[in-house]
Amino acid sequence: MSGDAGVVEGPLHGYHHETYVVPLPGRPGEAEPVRWKCREPRPGLLWFDRRCFASEEELLRALQGRIEGIPDLIQAGSAGLQRFIEGETLGALYGSGGGIPSSLLGQIVSLFGQLARVRPDSLAAERTCTSVYRAAEGDSDGFLERLILFTEEEVYQRNMPDFKGLFYDLGLDEASFGRLRERVSGLTRRPFHLLHADLHRENFVVDGMGRLWTIDWELAMFGDPLYDLATHLYLMRYPRDQEDRMTGQWRKAVESVVPGSSDGREKDLPKLLAFKRAQSVFTDVIRTALSLEEERTVDASLLARAGDRIRQVLSAATVPLGIKVPAAESVTAALGRWYEERAESAEVMAGAAVPGGA
């Protein structure tokens, strides 16, 4: 497409996709070439969140003119390209746990207001969530139950063949989900609208004019608006004063569009944040364990660091999951056993693949 393979950049760092950036001639009025990105899902990737739209590109096309600060799209032959936003991610400019300027906070609040205008019956984009994971309009309790069910079935149970021993060593048994349901059920009904569902610092790009762009919409869904706020607060790690400010401004933004969107927030926001902490336990345990297989050498210090990461997420979720955090040496030993079992299994499989192998 570019005419010169030497100017193609990539693959860029990213968990869900393999991304390449291609410069193409600008549109009329654009003197300089414009860079576009071409993305494909990484093969064999573990997905820990629901995907409710058939195509991110189709969703973005449907949102053109309705949501500000989303990438333009073009079709280049059979390839759909997103415009590459030139700038820095919010995380690169303002790291996790730090405050962000009021101008950028205001743009995030504005985004929440625009999302509230996109109701389930007003968007022409194919949805793929099955009825098992799709709650009835306004049923916030049912919406959260389906998120729990997805985590239980598609993250925990689906990965049991590879992680059962590690899960059990960490105290993560089947009863964990029953305890979680007891602690987070009973949400207030709220009208559903479009959620980005992954608004963290690396999914915001700040361009040279200070404009905020929102990228990576593959986890978007329709559902309880308070869940989008909870996910955002959990991932952003705002300082407490800015978290309170965001919560207050979010309420005004969504209520001005759809009254009732913030009903019950004082009671329900802590429950949704508790769910996010519990959900992260299962995904982070799997990701942390798998990261060991990417290392050339796994020694005691590496296992200890991985164990510290797991203990942190376990500590954050002790109440919603009703668990106790194992001692540091117990977590390290559990990771070591899991790694050795995986290595032995890989050796057996490699031997079986060789003619005459044992």
Instruction: With both helix axes pointing from N to C terminus, report the angle between 240-257 and 265-292 in degrees, rounded to the nearest 10.
Output: 120
Q: Which amino acid is at 62?
A: A
Domains, the chain: 46-343 (3.90.1200)
Q: 266 pLDDT band (50/70/90 cuts)?
A: very high
Residue 344 vs residue 135, higher pLDDT: 135
Express as a percent the part of the chain with pLDDT over 90.
67
User: For residues 246 and 99, is the Cβ–Cβ distance under 8 A?
Assistant: no
Q: Looking at the predicted structure, is the pLDDT value of residue 202 above 50?
A: yes
Residue 298 vs residue 189, higher pLDDT: 189
Q: Give 218's contacts (C-beta < 8 A, 6+ positions apart).
A: 16, 51, 53, 56, 198
Q: Which of 92-101, 120-129, 275-284 has the lowest mean pLDDT?
A: 120-129
Q: Tokens in use for 205?
A: 């790009």
Q: Is the dihedral of CA 287, 290, 294, 300 positive or negative?
A: positive
Model confidence, pTM: 0.89
* pLDDT 10s digits, 153-198: 999 999 999 999 999 999 999 999 999 999 999 999 999 999 999 9
* pLDDT 10s digits, 48-79: 677 888 888 889 999 999 999 998 887 776 66
Q: 20 pLDDT band (50/70/90 cuts)?
A: confident
Q: Which of 61-65, 213-217, 346-350 has the lowest mean pLDDT?
A: 346-350
Q: Supply the mean pLDDT for the chain.
A: 89
If one counts every other C-beta atom within 10 angstroms of the C-beta of residue 294, the result is 7
Residue 27: the pLDDT is 61
3 state SS for 156-173: HHCCHHHHHHHHHHCCCC
Q: Tokens in use for 105?
A: 């906070």
Residue 46 vs residue 111, higher pLDDT: 111
